[in-house]
Amino acid sequence: MGDTGAVRGGLLHLDSSADRRGESVTRTLTGLFARSWRERYGDAGYRYRDLAAEPVPLVGSGYVALGTRTERQGAVPLAKVAALAEGADEEREWALTLPLVAELRAAGTVLIGVPMYNFGVPAALKAWIDRVSFPGAFTDPDSGRPHLGGTRVVVVAACGGGYGPGTPRADCDFQVPYLRAYFGELGVAEGELHIVRAELTRAGDIPALAPFRDLAVDSLAAARAAVTELAVRPLGGRPAALHM
């Protein structure tokens, strides 16, 4: 079945695009990655969440209260958080949170499809991020090491225009920089965070972007090649070429 290091912990596949008509660039690219991965390693370790079709509930006051109380205790193992919950609201919030945290911690590879919405990430993805970011959930309470230190994260991003370095809207990109900062803070090793982005995806249907259609075609082709290569690369392999 291939290198066991690549399949360790399996693949957690998340899509966040609201476009479910078959036209989503990020869904197409994450689907390509997932198919390549499953063809090589099988289906046993594959888990999928459509964050747009089945939204993660927004965190509520019970989440905030329990998170604050837990953080004040210092390093608290996940198994002991439930004992800190006070009342049905906090218990409900923790019941919604724990399975998502456990699922992320268990994954060997995390694949996330992220279109750019209004210069940032979709609300559906942000709701998942807020939910799993429970205080201390990704730090080992005994050693202080990050639980995701050996996890590979592949962000498959897309944007309708061009936001790369040197472009007029480079300063408006709150998609890729945000995700880099977030997963870095979560403890994902720099060499295991891979960001592939298809740019100018609206060049084919927005007249103002028509002059950039060739660039859009090249960008999408490069993104397809990158996700295909990443899907079958063992964990700890050489860094992917970023397409930004």
Q: How far apart are CA 236 and CA 189, in angstroms?
A: 10
Q: According to the annotation, is 116 in a ligand binding site?
A: yes
Q: Can you list the alpha helix ranges (DSSP code H) found in the chain? A: 4-7, 25-41, 61-72, 78-81, 87-106, 123-132, 176-185, 213-231
Burial of 1 (0-12, 13-18, 19+ CB in 10 A): exposed
Asked whether residue 163 is marked as a ligand-binding residue, the answer is no
**93 contacts 59 by C-beta, under 8 angstroms:** yes
As given in the structure block, the two tokens for residue 117 are 């919405």
Q: Which of 179, 175, 173, 178 minimizes the C-alpha distance to 194?
A: 179
Minimal CA–CA distance to 132: which of 14, 10, 9?
14
Question: Is 212 labeled as ligand-binding?
Answer: no
Q: In what order do the strands lie in the sheet with 46-50?
A: 46-50, 11-15, 109-115, 152-158, 193-198
Is 119 part of any known ligand binding site?
yes
C-alpha distances in Å from residue 173, one per residue of 13, 113, 160, 165:
24, 16, 12, 10
User: Does the annotation list 36 as a binding residue?
Assistant: no
Query: Do residues 89 and 61 touch, judged by C-beta distance below 8 A?
Result: yes
d(CA 148, CA 119): 27
Q: Which residue ranges are tagged as binding site?
A: 17, 116-119
Q: Which residue ranges are tagged as binding site for FMN?
A: 17, 116-119
